[in-house]
Amino acid sequence: MNPFAILLALFFIVPIIEIYLLIEIGSIIGSFATIFAVVFTAVLGAWLLRIQGFSTLRRLQQTAAQGGIPAIEMLEGAMLLVAGALLLTPGFFTDAIGFLCLVPPLRRKMAVRFFQRIFRFPGGGSSSGGFQQSQSRPQHSHRPDVIEGEYRRDD
């Protein structure tokens, strides 16, 4: 299916789900409790987002310091941005998706699966978050498509 069509469908479906849930939950627990719940989930989500963001940043720095590629951590950071936007959007459906993105093992698994699917990596990532180099590639830093040379500009 076309990605534009999926986004367009989500643009219409998600608000309908949100309105339905707000009406149903509001009729069960009352309007004041519903408003309180929506505000509470936004505040709780912002607090958890801050904690998870610093944790992900720390892992990103550790992976980079060890010489690894922090691809998983970078994707997790992007997922945290999406989670933050979803948690600040009023509603229970978007909050549920946002909170799912805040669960570290689930977020990491989604990031690894994303890279496995996009780049067709059979093993996922290493424990440090960077992808391991394939055994078929040479382990030295010289790549055959790089030509060493010097450049001088004469003006």
Indicate if the pLDDT at residue 76 is higher than 70.
yes
In sequence order, the 6+-apart residues with CB closer than 8 A to the CB of 109 are none
Q: Which two tokens stand for residue 50?
A: 């801050």
Whether residue 58 lies inside any domain: the answer is yes
pLDDT digits (tens, 9 = 90+) for 100-119: 999 999 999 999 998 888 88
Asked whether residue 140 is assigned to any structural domain, the reply reads no
Q: Residue 55 falls within a domain, yes or no?
A: yes
Residue 147 lies in a domain: no
pTM of the model: 0.70
Please give the Cα distance from 44 to 54 (Å, whole number). Answer: 16
Specify the range with the lowest mean pLDDT, choosing from 9-13, 28-32, 74-78, 145-149: 145-149
- Kindly report which listed range (30-44, 47-61, 105-119) carries the lowest average pLDDT score: 105-119
- Contact predicate 84/46, CB 8 Å: yes
| CB-CB contact of 129 with 61 (8 Å) | no
Q: How far apart are the first and last CA of the chain?
A: 54
61 within some domain: yes
Alpha carbon distance 59, 79 (integer Å): 15
Residue ranges making up the domain that contains 106: 21-119
Q: Classify residue 86: in a domain, yes or no.
A: yes
Does 143 reside within a domain?
A: no
15 within some domain: no
Specify the number of domains making up the chain.
1
